[in-house]
Every structure is written in C-alpha cells, then in structure tokens.
Amino acid sequence: MRLTIPEEEIMQPGHLACQGCGATLAIRFVLKALGRKTVMSIPACCCTVIDGPFPYSAYGVPIWHTAFETAASAAAGIKAGLEMLGDRETTVLAWAGDGGTFDIGIQALSGAAERGDDILYVCYDNEAYMNTGIQRSSATPRGAWTTTTPVRHPKDRPKKDIIAIMAAHRIPYAATASVGYPEDLIKKVKKAKASKGTKFLHIIAPCPTGWRSRPDDTIKLARLVVETNVFPLYEVENGEVWQMTKKSKGTPVTEYLKLQGRFKHLKEEDVNEIQNKVDREYEKLLKKCSIDSKQ
Amino acid sequence: MKKVLMGNHALSYGAKLSRVQVIAAYPITPQTQVVELLSEMCADGELDAQFVKVESEHSALAASIGASAVGARTFTATSAQGLALMHEMIHWAVGARTPVVLGNINRAMAPPWSIWTDQNDSLSERDTGIMQVYCESNQEVQDTVIQAYKVAEKVLLPCMVVLDAFYLSHTYEPVDIPEQKLVDKYLPPFNPPYKLDPKDVHAFGGLTDAKWYYELRYKIESAMNRAREEWKKADDEFGKIFGRRYGLVEDYRCKDADIILITSGTITGTARITVDILRDKGKKVGVLKIRVFRPFPTDKVREMLGGAKKVACIDRNISFGQSGIFFEEIKSALYNSSHRPPIWGYIAGLGGRDVTPETIKEIVKRTEESDRPEDLIWIGLKK
C-alpha cells in the first residue's frame, strides 16, 4: 500500500495535551507535511502549553512563543529576517487557536494577508478559549455551552466565517481541513506551502475537555463535523475559485451534536434550527463552488 | 559629510548607517518622517532592508522582535499612543532578549489629544527593561542610534532612543553624517549567540515556572547593570573614531555650582544658555543633563551632585500622585549616598508648553530663595 501521509514523525512524544486532543493531531500532521525546515510562531493558546514547559519542547522545530495577538505579525518579522539573512526556503508557520485568530489576532492576521507576507497561518479551531477554561470565542458555534455562555443563555450568534474573511483578502490559498481527514489535510498543507504569499488553513480540532466529549470520539467527531456539513471541507484560491474537497454525506446534525455535552441542553426545536442554518450555509457554499445541490 | 537634517531624519540616518536589515513601523505624528525617509531609502536600494508596513504599532514591535530573533538587525519608531500600544511587546522584547532599537518621539498622551512634547509616553515604559536614552540635538540622535545598536547587541536588551516632538523632531540642524566604512568599523554585523534557526531546534519563551523565571529576571537586571559600563565603552570608542562623546550624563559648569539643574532632552540647551546668563550675574549655577535614563547612572549622579548646595530637577513629565519622574529617580539615587543635597522638583513644559530661559530663571530664583525643599512645584501654572 502506498502511504500518503509522510512517515517521519517530527513532533516528539512527551507533550502535555489532554487525551484525545485534536489540536495535537493537527500539529503532528501539519509538521509531517511541512518537514523540518519550518519555524513556528505560537501565540498564547493550548499549543503554548502542549509543547512542554521550559526547558522541554516536543514539536521538533524551532518555536517562537509570542504574545496573544501577534501570531501573524511575529511570523511576518521572522520571515523578513530570514530572507534578509539569505534563507528563502524555511516555511514560517503561524500557529494559533480560534481565540488568537478569530478574536484578538485578527487585526495582525488581516495586516499580514493584505501585505501578502509569505507565511502559512494555521488556525486550529477548538471553538472556544480552551486553554483558559472553555470561554466562548467568536468561533464558538451557535447553541454551544461554554463557561461564559451558560445553558440558561447559550451562544446565540453564529460562528464567524473566517474563510470568507480571508478569501476577501484575495490571498493565494485558504482552506478548511479536519484532523479526521489527514490525507486531505496534508494535501492542503503541501499546496499551501508551494504557493507564495499568505496562506490560511482553518483546521477543526475537537477538544474533549471543552466539548464535553469522549477522548476516543475525537476522530469520529472530526469526521461527523464534515459529514453533517457543519464544517465542510473546501478551498479557495486567490479569493475567487471555491472548490469542495470532500463530498457531502448529508448526515443529520444531531448525530454530531449528541456526542457532545456542550450541546446536551438543546431541545428538539433547537437542533432543528441548527439543522436549518447548516443547510442554508451549505447551500450558499455550494453556490460559491458553482455546484448545484440538486445535481 | 554635513547635512541639514530634521531630528526625525537624523533617526533615519542613524538606522541607515547602522545597516538595519528589517524595519517594521506604523505612522504616527510626529514620527512620520522617520519612516517616510526609510521607505524611500529601501525603495531606492540605498538601504538593503525589508520594510514591513504593519497595520499597528503592536504589530510593528511584534514583527521587529521576530526579525531580531532570527538574527537580523531591526529598527522601529513611534510616539505616544503608538508606544503605549507597543507596551506589551516592549516587555516581550526585553524578556526575549532581542536588541531592537526603537526611536520614540516624546509626545504627550491623550486625552485631550495633543501632538506636542512631553515625556510621559517613554517614562511609562520605565520598568519594562528597555534601555532609554534622551537626546538634545539631531547630531546626538543620529549618533545615539549607532551607539544603541552597539550596546543593545552586546547586552541583548532593546533600546529606546528618545527625542522631543517638534523641538527636535521637526527642527533642522546641521548633522555630520559619518562615512559608512567608519560606522562599519565601529559597529560589526549583528551575530547573536542564540537565534531562531531551523538548523538548531530550540523553543524560545515557553512556559517557565517559578523554578526558573526568577533567575531569568536576574539575568535581565545583570544585563542592565553591564549596560552601564557598555554605554561608557561604546561612547569612548565612538569618541575615538568620530570625535564626539556624550556621556551617560553630561555636566555643564557643575564643578563649583551651588545650584545644579537636572534636565533631559531639549530643555538642556535652554538651561545651558540660562546658566551662562546667570553666571555672568555672579550666580553659581550648573546643569546636569541625564542622557542615559535606563540603566540609570546612579554613581555618576551621586558623584556629580555630591558637592552641590541645592539641586533643582526640571521634569517634562509627571507621575500623578507622586512627583516628576526624573526627580524621583535622582532622589532615590541620592538616598543611600553620604552627600545628599536638598532637591526641589519642578514640573514644566507638559504638552509642549515652551520652557524658556525665563522659566528656568524662575526655577533658579525659587530654589535660591527657598530654604525648604519641595517635591512638586508646577512652574508657570495658569491660575
């Protein structure tokens, strides 16, 4: 059998992630795809801690820890510095969570994307501030419980459409990916690496701690989130060409929601409403991809 | 070669002569000409550097730190609100031990909006661990940038080169621009002992518990302490090559002075002229300019002020609820000294209010006539 996932493990054992952590899988796969000529800029997030405390480091590539809102700007500086010193090959990888991307870091990210800084920005999205103890972010989905959206008042606003925001910057490459589909993820990382300019990957990374799910359901959830069209897999080139990379199975959202404690307060009508919204969003996405759902 | 330059352009020339490799900056009045000229220099190929045109000062310093981490010489410049926005990253530059040089044009903090000079912006960064040097002429601005890289890269701490808004930033003065090869001789390429390098895998700045954090802070203080000596050495070597020396402090007619005025920035020039006028009238007055503020030149201050009968400190800044900040610093430097002259603290020139020879004469007169030192005297306050 031909392996499509590079065998070499760049990330080392000994990291500090929770059991079933999707973010850790994301790092492992992304580094496999990028190889050792990589430098990471990591702002405050779970992955700051997962790498290990001083003097340990598990990721296997040089890490630049930086302030919460600066994943993109620090990466831009690192890239400029490397280029001035004659290194044009090293991939500079900005690696931030959803809080550091959708919220506090969006200004620096937008700046880098507009300038076209030659960096790969990956947002691993566990849909809340998990490192600080499950507080809502602008990536938290509608209806979800978090410690700042208690069940009496769950989040009532939709998740930001970060890919649309990034595509609007006309960057060469923006894509979604899931740790449940590593071949697709790795293909996208390689595609991103091959193009020049700001590239953006949005990876859904289930978080058993924050999602109140079983650690051994992580892969199942990472697949269901795609199969239910809650988090479709697609890519956008130059902000213009939208393309689906995984066919829809159209699995009912309830299959995905019911495995997570953060949604257990939802009533049948809430689930139906979520289903309607997911369907509508998916229709809109198909139109962007010029695919007729009735085909 | 002599050129007539505005203070802001003196900063740009200082950066160019230092062969900076990465510049990341965001415009703010009254700093804009610094980055405008550097943009042109980069565009013309006169300066081989990448200019990252960031979307904020916060990103400016974050990018500068990143570039410095891989071993590139980096420069940024800002003022007031911009510096305040950088505050988090100033701590970062210090903790990460990245010797970024930052030009700061002293501008008053809003609200109300002001674009005119005072020192509350830079002095609010007093406790971050960034070195701070206050300049009084455009020549000094240019030369200090070059010296700043020399010291910063030796001790691995960032450095802020500070000049007054408009009184210096927009004032044209003749500046001697040295030959590049002389500057190259003085300032070798930046080659840090530790860098972010894909061939040498390390994590920088990761989670560090109480077992080590304390020692890392001690190392920063040790570097600051070494920086005192390094500033002296850098200044001496600069003097030998370029014929100009500035000192950590600079005294003017202090030797036999009964009253010593403490100044910083452009007030110093006005104070010197006033001292000459007063000396002609038989009054024994001198000026001690504080140039290097961090590391604070404690020994020098003790040595220079030990013989004075009275000291009058002029602060273009205020630490609300306490006093002028230079005043506090001078007082604390003298407290454990065997010779402690009485010291009067004067606030003057906030928000760009002109500090004239008349202002300084009033300060001298008030100090002369008073027999009890006062911590906080607002000079020229409208009633």
Residue B137 confidence class, pLDDT cut points 50, 70, 90:
very high
Contacting B with CB below 8 Å, chain A residues are 36-39, 41, 48-49, 51-54, 57, 59-67, 69-70, 72-78, 80-85, 87, 90, 107-108, 110-111, 114-115, 117
Q: Which CATH architecture has domain B2-242?
A: 3-Layer(aba) Sandwich (3.40)
- Nearest Cα to B288, choosing from B319, B249, B238? B249
For residue A63, the chain B residues in CB contact (below 8 A) are 202-204, 206
Q: For residue A36, give the DSSP letter.
A: S
The answer to whether the CB atoms of B62 and A59 lie below 8 A apart is no
**What is the per-residue pLDDT across B168-197, written as a single tens digit (0 to 9) for each?**
999 999 999 999 999 999 999 999 999 999
- Is residue A269, in this structure, part of any structural domain at all? yes
- Is residue A2, in this structure, part of any structural domain at all? no
Instruction: Give the separation between CA B289 and CA B263, rounded to whole angstroms.
Output: 5
Other CB atoms within 10 Å distance of the CB of residue B245 = 14
- Is residue A14, in this structure, part of any structural domain at all? no
User: Model pTM greater than 0.90?
Assistant: yes
Instruction: Give the separation between CA B152 and CA A12, rounded to whole angstroms.
Output: 35
Residue A5 confidence class, pLDDT cut points 50, 70, 90:
very high
- Is residue A13, in this structure, part of any structural domain at all? no
Q: Is B202 on the interface with A (CB under 8 A)?
A: yes
**What is the per-residue pLDDT across A45-94, written as a single tens digit (0 to 9) for each?**
999 999 999 999 999 999 999 999 999 999 999 999 999 999 999 999 99
Domains B2-242 and B250-378 share a fold: yes
Q: What is the biggest distance separating any 2 CA atoms in chain B, rounded to whole angstroms?
A: 69
Domains of chain B: which residue ranges? 2-242, 250-378
**What is the per-residue pLDDT across B46-104, written as a single tens digit (0 to 9) for each?**
999 999 999 999 999 999 999 999 999 999 999 999 999 999 999 999 999 999 999 99
Mutate to test the interface with A, among B19, B47, B55 (most CBs of A within 10 A): B55
Edge-first strand order for the sheet with A91-97 is A241-244, A234-237, A173-178, A199-204, A120-125, A91-97, A38-42, A63-65, B203-204
Q: Is B62 on the interface with A (CB under 8 A)?
A: yes
Give the gap in angstroms from C-alpha A28 to the nearest C-alpha of chain B. Answer: 16
pLDDT mean over A121-143: 97
User: CATH number for the domain including A261?
Assistant: 3.40.50.970
Alpha helices in B210-266 (DSSP H): 213-242
Question: So what's the pLDDT on residue A159?
Answer: 97
For residue B50, the chain A residues in CB contact (below 8 A) are 80, 83-84
The answer to whether the CB atoms of A77 and B92 lie below 8 A apart is no
- Is residue A221, in this structure, part of any structural domain at all? yes
For residue B21, the chain A residue with the least C-alpha distance is A84
Structural domains in chain A (count): 1
> Could you tell me which residues are beta bridge partners of residue B162?
B104, B134
- Nearest Cα to A33, choosing from A250, A166, A221, A183? A183
Query: At a CB cut-off of 8 Å and minimum separation 6, what does B256 contact?
Result: B284
- Nearest Cα to B345, choosing from B324, B321, B322? B324
Which of B63, B72, B196 lies closest to A76 in CB terms? B63
Give the gap in angstroms from C-alpha A33 to the nearest C-alpha of chain B. Answer: 16
Domain region containing A32? 22-288
Q: Which CATH architecture has domain B250-378?
A: 3-Layer(aba) Sandwich (3.40)
The answer to whether the CB atoms of A49 and B207 lie below 8 A apart is yes
**What is the per-residue pLDDT across B208-233, written as a single tens digit (0 to 9) for each?**
999 999 999 999 999 999 999 999 99
- Nearest Cα to A128, choosing from A151, A142, A146? A146
Which of B24, B59, B203 lies closest to A63 in CB terms? B203
